[in-house]
Amino acid sequence: MRWPAAGETRAPYRVYEDQVLYAQEQERIFRGPVWSFLGLAAEVPAAGDYKATFVGDTPVVLTRDSAGALHCWVNRCAHRGALVCRELRGNVGANGTHTCVYHQWAYDAAGKLVGVPFRKGLGGKGGYPADFDMAGHGLQQLRVDTVGEMIFGTFDSATLPLREYLGAEHCANIERLFGRPITVLGHARQYFSGNWKLYAENSRDSYHGGLLHLFYPTFGIYRQGQRGWVHLSDNKLHQLLQVCKPADDQSIEHYQQASARKAESDAQLEAPEILRWIPELGGEISLTIHSMFPNVVLQQISNTLAVRQIQTKGLEGTELVWTFYGFADDSPALTAHRLKQHNMVGPAGFISMEDGEAVNICQQGIAGSLDATSVIECGGSSTDSMEVMGVDENGVRAFWAGYRRLMGL
């Protein structure tokens, strides 16, 4: 495929509908020189804990061993290719094994093969050859590293060190949002009938925030012109979008007056306390959408803290896995506030449900239009950081710049 001569100001619709290109993405991106998000350390806190997830289409399992070390391996038995782990999460015990149900091959937390039934046969018959090497039949490994609570993995031995891949500013924001021990409050899963890159674009698109999401200006969470910025990594893969709100700015009227659109409705919230922002984490940042290539968004929307993991589900399917968290030292009142405020996000959130619909209608609209392109010209052709937000598409263009480099397009 040849990219349009206009560069990142155009994205060919073929990138969302070409099965060959999708297969290349799995190889060059998800199994290539990138770090993919796997989970939070608090999801596997104890020896024997595990979490099954995906890197692109590849099923993987994140584990913690008896020494506290983290491991990640492909969830595919070295014998006949069956899934080894069939539950989303659990604990096999500090020295337990992960056993394939098909032929009972067993692996330790590090993915090493530790048990093969009838390895030496029975009664002198059958079994495996004398030179069968247990060490040579373990599970395929990923490199694992962490920043703050976030655990990442990569298939490629040549991938840059994680902190270098993310960049100093992006690592600093992760550490800000995981500044002390956390507690996982819950999970949610959301399915889109659209290509994964449509959601990757959406999370980097500050232009739509106050236009699509009428809940923001209608109820005083965000408006165009509010102090904020969009900072892009040097490798153009990651975006940090943040908005500030003074602690004494709790009114709604001037948000409605200063916004391009607001809901034409007299609807009132039965629980207006959902809107309350309790300043925390230092400073006046009340909104953070932190998109890290290829598969995770870290969010702070008022007091709602979450990570969103993007899982590819074929050419025209995407699953978004939300993990909501708070801090271990939160008061019961603050935990209750976070839980109530989660109604703004997630699959049926007052805000987030519209992003899912945007992905769906884009995939529907581009059907059969392989040679047409999108127009990404708001803010010109720049892929640079901006010290204002909501009036450009720099982050979307930067995404395509990084994507093209990895894909060789």
Give per-residue pLDDT as tens, 382-405: 999 999 887 899 999 999 999 999
Q: Which residue has the higher pLDDT, 248 or 80?
A: 80
| Residue with the two structure tokens 């969103």 | 308
Strand 150-154 with 36-40, pairing: antiparallel
Does position 203 have pLDDT exceeding 80, yes or no?
yes
Q: Give pLDDT, residue 263.
A: 55
* One-letter identity of residue 278: I
Structural class in CATH, domain 162-407:
alpha beta
How far is C-alpha 39 from the chain's CA centre?
Answer: 9
Distance from CA of residue 164 to its chain's centroid? 19
pLDDT number for residue 260: 46
Average pLDDT over residues 36-47: 99
Under the banding of pLDDT at 50, 70 and 90, the label for residue 213 is confident
In the chain, which residues fall in CATH 2.102.10.10? 36-145
Domain 36-145 -> CATH class: mainly beta
pLDDT band at 264; cut points 50, 70, 90: low
Instruction: pLDDT band for 128, please (50, 70, 90 cuts).
Output: very high
Ramachandran angles phi, psi of 203, nearest 5°: -70, -15
CB atoms within 10 A of CB 85: 22
SS3 readout for the chain: CCCCCCHHHEEEHHHHCCHHHHHHHHHHHHCCCCCEEEEEHHHCCCCCEEEEEEECCEEEEEEECCCCCEEEEECCCCCCCCCCCCCCEEECCCCCCEECCCCCCEECCCCCEEECCCCCCECCECCCCCCCCHHHHCCCECEEEEECCEEEEECCCCCCCHHHHHCHHHHHHHHHHCCCCEEEEEEEEEEECCCHHHHHHHHHCHHHHHHHCCHHHHCCCCCCCCCEEEEECCCCCCEEEEEECCCCCCCCHHHHHCCCCCCCCCCCCCCHHHHCCCCCCCCCEEEEEEEECCCEEEEEECCEEEEEEEEECCCCCEEEEEEEEEECCCCHHHHHHHHHHHHHCCCCCCCCHHHHHHHHHHHHHCCCCCCCEEECCCCCCCCCCECCCCCCCHHHHHHHHHHHHHHCC
Residue range(s) of every CATH 3.90.380.10 domain in the chain: 162-407
- Model confidence over 298-322: pLDDT tens digits? 999 999 999 999 999 999 999 999 9
What pLDDT is attached to residue 255? Answer: 42
Q: What is the 3-state secondary structure (H, E, C) of 314-328?
A: CCCCEEEEEEEEEEC
pLDDT of residue 248: 57
Give yes or no for residue 131 having a pLDDT over 60: yes
User: Worst-scoring range by mean pLDDT, 172-176, 248-252, 391-395?
Assistant: 248-252
Kindly state the average pLDDT of the residues 85-100: 97
Residue 86 Ramachandran class (φ > 0 left, ψ -120 to 50 alpha, else beta): alpha
pTM given for the model: 0.94
Quote the pLDDT of residue 159. Answer: 98
pLDDT digits (tens, 9 = 90+) for 103-116: 999 999 999 999 99
Indicate the angle between helix axes 196-204 and 394-407, nearest 10 degrees.
140
Our CA angle for 283, 182, 184, nearest 5°, is 120
Give tens-digit pLDDT for 352-387.
888 889 999 999 999 988 889 999 999 999 999 999
pLDDT at 247: 60
pLDDT digits (tens, 9 = 90+) for 116-127: 999 999 998 999
| pLDDT band per the 50, 70, 90 thresholds, residue 33 | very high
Q: How confident is the model at residue 62 (pLDDT cuts 50, 70, 90)?
A: very high
How confident is the model at residue 258, as a pLDDT?
Answer: 45
Asked whether the predicted pLDDT for residue 278 surpasses 70, the reply is yes
Q: pLDDT band for position 173 (50/70/90)?
A: very high
Of 228 and 212, the one with more pLDDT: 228
Lowest mean pLDDT segment, chosen from 114-118, 171-175, 209-213, 283-287? 209-213
Q: What percent of the chain has pLDDT over 90?
A: 78
* High-pLDDT (> 70) share of the chain, %: 93
Has residue 138 got a pLDDT over 80? yes
- Calculate the CA 393 to chain-centre distance: 20
Give the span between the Cα atoms of 35 and 33, in whole angstroms. 7
| Lowest-pLDDT choice from 91-100, 276-285, 332-341, 390-399 | 276-285
Q: Starting from the edge strand earliest in sequence, which strands make up the sheet with 36-40, in order?
A: 36-40, 150-154, 143-147
The answer, yes or no, to whether residue 257 has pLDDT greater than 70, is no
